[in-house]
Structure 1
Amino acid sequence: MVSVVMLGASGAVGGAALRTLKAMPQVARVTLLSRRATGLAGAKVTEQVVDPGDAARYAAHLAGHEAAICTLGVGEPSKASRAEFTRVDHDMPLAFGQACHDAGVAHFGLLAAVGSDSGSRIFYARSKGQLEDGLRGMGFARLSLFHPSMILTPQNRYGASQALMLAVWPWLTPLLAGRLRKYRGIRVEDLGAAMARDVLRGGAGVQVLEWDAITALAAE
């Protein structure tokens, strides 16, 4: 039996992961850390309203969990300032990771992005890569870094640009072969299911999961 703590469950990917976790008999309990009450608490799910930017205040809620899932991030990065993006997509997940490690959480799963690279000239990819480097340095027994490309949601949540991408990307997917397979779009439900099912896998060390690994895990 596994106990899981989550940061970011109110988002699309986090919500999908939570739905899968709730249906898994091997998951004993799920603790949600939320900025505000979401109404997601229920059978085997408890919610703690916390400040995600103050890890010291929520650290007491982390003990006794074997795994952590972090899907926290700004909804539309292109419309966030660099300072806000860094605070939400880098600083908060990094602090959450450190607090989880200090509390004895063995496995940490992170929603990152394809192309994450601390040496990238692209701010978004560089920030994600710097976060991953920080988590790697903490020495988790197991660290799962999920690298999706376009996340396909049932609804358009962010306006015309997302509507265009959601319409076009499924048609592009069959054309993305070979080294380009990692850029294939993935349904949000499949991504969330993969992150949830990953908590039951064995192994140790760092694993980067791209399109093939994510879709295979979602299908289990």
Structure 2
Amino acid sequence: MLGATGAVGRQALASLVHGARAVQVTTLGRRPVDLPDHSRLVQHQVDIHDPSSYADCLGGQQVAICTLGVGQPSQMSKAEFTRVDKDAVLMFANACRAAGVKHFELLSSVGVDARSRSFYLRTKGELQEALEALGFERLSLFQPSMILTPTNRYGWSQALTLVVWPKLDGLLRGRLKRFRGIGVEELGRAMAVNALNEGTGVETVQWSGFKRLASQDQIR
């Protein structure tokens, strides 16, 4: 798992480590994750931009979960955003593919498109296309709209969003449901459950899929 110290990654990790189903999770990151129970957790501090620093950790792994990403893309340069959200992720995916990992899960975003005028959506769309080209047996692309956290992490703009966005859910129906906000705990749990489910091919998971997966009991 890459990106376990982020909001979604931490929730996905907690769901796997503390669930009733016995699974061992290996995390790769710049710093360790502080969880109360470490009995199912193996952590490695690595350079996320240098696959040689973690390639030896990938042997025998069946599923890779990637929730790596910058918290506030607007607060950094396009070059740095690309370096983290696209380049580091793709290097990780290539290393996983070479090590024989069968299933790759990515935390992406709703509306991504390699031909989008939006730099953010275009970059993530290019990443998704590159991942599809790698030919994993199963590729799960999680595409949330607004991720709702219990606390405000990024100042007044996020504080306003956390108040307003949930009130819009009733207006977002039909095809617009994919733009509904999703709680970070539910999203993390959905990624954890999906990692334990069987499947093949490329799948795109959006709001309705998050809700369905989070309600399942594979990890309880």
SS in 2 for 1:72: coil
Query: RMSD of the alignment, in Å?
Result: 1.1
What's the TM-score once normalised by structure 2's chain length?
0.95
TM-score, with normalisation over the residues of structure 1? 0.95
Show the counterpart of 2:125: 129
Structure 1 residue 25, shift from structure 2 partner: 3.7
User: How far apart, in 1, do the equivalents of 2:197 and 2:107 lie?
Assistant: 17
Once the 2 structures are TM-superposed, how far is the Cα of residue 26 of structure 1 from its aligned partner? 3.4
Question: Match of 1:31, as an amino acid?
Answer: T
Q: Which runs of 5+ in 1 are unaligned?
A: 1-5
Match of 2:33 among 30, 38, 44: 38
Structure with the higher fraction of residues in strand conformation:
1
Does 2:18 align with 1:23? yes
Alignment of 1:104-115 (within 5 A): 104-115=100-111
Number of paired residues?
215
Q: Is the 8 A contact 2:5 2:32 kept in 1?
A: no
Query: What do residues 25-68 of structure 1 show as CA deviations (whole Å, max 9, x unaligned)?
Result: 43421001011233347111011000000012210001111101
User: Which residues of structure 2 form unaligned runs of 5+?
Assistant: none
User: What is the Cα deviation at residue 174 of structure 1?
Assistant: 1.1
Q: Tell me what 2:83 maps to.
A: 87
For residues 120-173 of structure 1, the C-alpha deviation after alignment (integer angstroms, 9 at most, x for no partner) is 110000001001011000000000000000000000000011111101001001
* Bigger mean CA deviation after superposition, 33-42 or 125-134: 33-42
Query: Hey, what does 1:67 align to over in structure 2?
Result: 63
In the other structure, the counterpart of 1:168 is: 164
> 1:58-111, CA deviations, whole angstroms, 9 ceiling, x for partnerless residues?
100011111010000011111111011000100011111110111011000000
- Sequence identity percentage: 53
Letter in 1 for 2:32: A
Deviations 1:173-192 (A, max 9, x none): 11100111100000000000
User: What secondary structure sits across from 1:193 in the alignment?
Assistant: helix
Counterpart CA distance in 2 for 1:165 and 1:142 is: 34
- Asked whether 1:9 is paired with 2:1, we answer no
The answer to whether residue 197 in structure 2 is matched with residue 201 in structure 1 is: yes
The offset of 1:202, in angstroms, is 1.3
